[in-house]
Each structure stands twice: as C-alpha cells, then as structure tokens.
Amino acid sequence: MEVESRAVAQAVDEAKQTIASLLSEALRDRPDSFLEDVKSKIADERVLSEQDGARAMLPRGQIISRDMRAMTQGMRLAPHQAVTLKMALLGAPGIVARKISGLARQAGSHLLRVEGRKRKSALVGTNVFIGHGRSLLWRALKDFVQDRLHLPADEFNRVPVAGVTNIARLSEMLDSAAIAFIILTAEDEMKDGKLQARMNVIHEVGLFQGRLGFTRALVMLEEGCEEFSNIQGLGQLRFPVGNITASFEDVRRLLEREGLIDTH
C-alpha cells in the first residue's frame, strides 16, 4: 500500500503543476477572480507529511514531568497514535487528489460557461430577420428597416433555392441575425373557429428566441390572431389588422435599445 500511496502522491504533484499551468494560461488572456481563487486553493493543497502529521497529534504547550529521561528524549507518539498516523498517511494522497479534482472540475465548468458566452456572442450577426406567413405585411416592415433605418434585412419566404435546402437557409439566417421580428398574422383556422398564425412561423419564434434570447427575438402579433402559450407574458408588439405600420415607432425604439441604430 505504501508503494501505491507514493505513486498517487507523485501523480497529485504532477496534476497540480499541470492545472496551475493551464490556469495561468487562461488568466494570461483575461483576469478572472474565480479562476484566481481556484488556482490559489489548488496551490494550498498538499499531501500530509509524516512530520506534519506527528506534530498535529502531539500535545502542545509546556510539559512538566519528573521523569528526566523522558524529558531529555523529547515528545514521541504513543503506539496507537503511530498506527493512526500511518493509516492517515496512506490515505492522504487520495484525499488531496479528490479535492484537486473537484477544484479542477469547477474551473473547467467555469471556463466552458465563459467560452459558451463568447461563442454565442460571436454567432450573433448583423441582419434584421423578418419571419412571416402568407401575408404580405412583412414587405412594409422590410422597406422600413432597409430604407428608413438603413439596416440589412433578411426574410425566409420558403421559395426553394436551387441546391440549398430550407433547413440550410434557415440555419444561415439564424447565424447572420442580430435581431428578429416574427410577424404572426391570423391565417390558419382552429377547431373552435379562432385564427392563429401558421405553424412554421410559430416554429421560427422558438428558433430565434433560443438563439438570440427573448429581448432580440420579438413577436409582432396582429389583432385577431390567437396568442399561443409559448409567448404569453412575453414582450410583444401588437398592431391593428392589416396595419403593421402602426408599430414601426416601437420597432425603431427596440432597435435603438439593442444598440443596432444610433439614437442621435
């Protein structure tokens, strides 16, 4: 067991050096208080030595005894203490290894979250995506965005393009979008006689909210169009039947809020 324990202790030292090197490399690019704290904690972890263990088990303070021979020989562990220390020393490398492993996992998870935010930010494009059904109201919004606000607009009309699948086109639009306006117009009749937006447009709402977030994937709901459960309670731009231009000032304010157009 002593051989295995020494091997684990050596592996712990090597792991500490490797993790310290990786964290130093990560911290070189940008300061991070969480990683600094983890790095410090890992550096403080060390395998219990026999001297430290014995010192911790011996009594502290002034010792008074009439046994001069014992006094001259110094403090020693009792036999049962020596056995206890031996067992502790055998298990110490494993304990430290588990602690360092946990700290390393914390650092790794933190770096993944940070990198995930960076990747998501890098994926956000520059276009204003306009989702719509059969209604032609989207054309007025596209003209407003392009001609009045001077922003690039994109829309998915589902007209097949030679050699490019609809899925590939929609995926490309997801990547290039900075913000999305999904226009829900009353087109499909439900069993109860109410009208809802086409299901493919409702699907686009979920896609763009998942990619851009709720503040950058906006629903524009026409009066008379049934509101589906996924958007209840979320911010919406509502407009009268056939009059999407009534919401254009709200569109402008949203684009200003998100920093896509200059407020001056």
Per-residue pLDDT of the chain (264 residues; tens, 9 = 90+): 666 767 777 887 888 888 888 888 888 878 888 889 999 998 888 776 666 655 555 566 566 556 566 556 556 666 666 666 567 666 777 888 888 888 888 888 888 877 766 555 555 577 899 999 888 999 999 999 999 999 988 887 755 566 567 777 888 888 888 899 999 988 877 777 788 788 888 888 888 888 888 888 899 999 988 877 666 556 689 999 999 999 999 999 999 988 888 765
Q: Which residues pair with 128 in a beta bridge?
A: 153, 179
pLDDT of residue 63: 61
pLDDT of residue 155: 86
Distance CA 28, CA 53 (A): 37
Domain spans, the chain: 2-123, 127-257
Say how far apart CA 25 and CA 30 lie, in whole Å. 9
Q: Give the pLDDT confidence score for residue 60 in this predicted structure.
A: 66
- Phi-psi region at 242: left, alpha or beta (left = phi > 0; alpha = psi -120 to 50): left
Structure tokens at 144: 């407003």
Q: Which residues contact 254 (CB under 8 A, 6 or more apart)?
A: 179, 218, 237
Pick the CATH number of 127-257 from 3.40.50.2300, 3.30.420.40, 3.40.50.10860, 3.30.420.140: 3.40.50.2300
User: What's residue 231's pLDDT?
Assistant: 60
Q: Are strands 217-222 and 195-196 parallel, antiparallel or unpaired?
A: unpaired
CA atoms within 13 Å, Cβ hemisphere of 2: 2
Residue 255: C-alpha distances to residues 28, 115, 215 (Å): 36, 27, 10
Q: Name the H helices within the chain.
A: 2-29, 33-44, 50-57, 68-73, 79-123, 138-143, 166-176, 199-212, 248-257
